[in-house]
Amino acid sequence: MAEECVFCKIGSGEIPSEFLYRDDLAYVIRDIRPRAPTHLLVIPSEHVTYLASFTNEREALVGHLLLVAREMAQREHLVERGYRLVVNQGPDSGQEVPHLHLHLLGGRQLGAMG
Ligand code: AMP
């Protein structure tokens, strides 16, 4: 756990939050500033700053995060209309929280990326 990391604090319960999903490796919350009708964050419990911090041994965790996102998209009834997964990394992406997370966005026409 990184001491000043908001997602570590949410994961440990220090900052109260509603968990939509939780297992041994990851948890899911609603984004506090939603950019779409459904805007969830899929977050590994373990502190990892960037996707670039992952070594090949963590392949299973990366896969797990995607499968959790898939499950949440089903639960939120997004599969038919579609949705978007986003990972921000570093300054050019505008990454605000330096703890890896997947954004799951859906419920409206999302428009072009960029
Ligand atoms: P990123 O720019 O990819 O680092 O995205 C971080 C996201 O975390 C932003 O969309 C924030 O709105 C969201 N966020 C920050 N603090 C919280 C919080 N306490 N609970 C839920 N979402 C948060």
**pLDDT the model gives residue 114:** 78
Residue 95 Cβ < 6 Å to ligand 1: yes
Residue 6 Cβ < 6 Å to ligand 1: yes
**pLDDT the model gives residue 87:** 96
- Residues involved in catalysis: 101
The residue contributing the CA closest to ligand 1 atom 18 is 32
Number of H helices, E strands in the chain: 2, 5
Contacts 24+ apart (CB under 8 A), 70-75: 71/21, 72/20, 72/21, 72/28, 72/40, 72/42, 72/104, 73/104, 73/106, 75/20, 75/21
**pLDDT the model gives residue 105:** 98
Give domain limits for the chain.
2-104
Closest ligand 1 atom number to CA of residue 10: 19
**pLDDT the model gives residue 53:** 87
What's this model's pTM, rounded to 2 decimal places? 0.96
Q: What is the CATH number of domain 2-104?
A: 3.30.428.10
* C-alpha 40 to ligand 1 mean position (Å): 10
Residue 91 Cβ < 6 Å to ligand 1: no
Per-residue pLDDT of the chain (114 residues; tens, 9 = 90+): 777 999 999 999 999 999 999 999 999 999 999 999 999 999 999 999 998 888 888 899 999 999 999 999 999 999 999 999 999 999 999 999 999 999 999 999 999 987
Rg (CA), the chain: 14
**pLDDT the model gives residue 55:** 85
Residue 25 Cβ < 6 Å to ligand 1: no
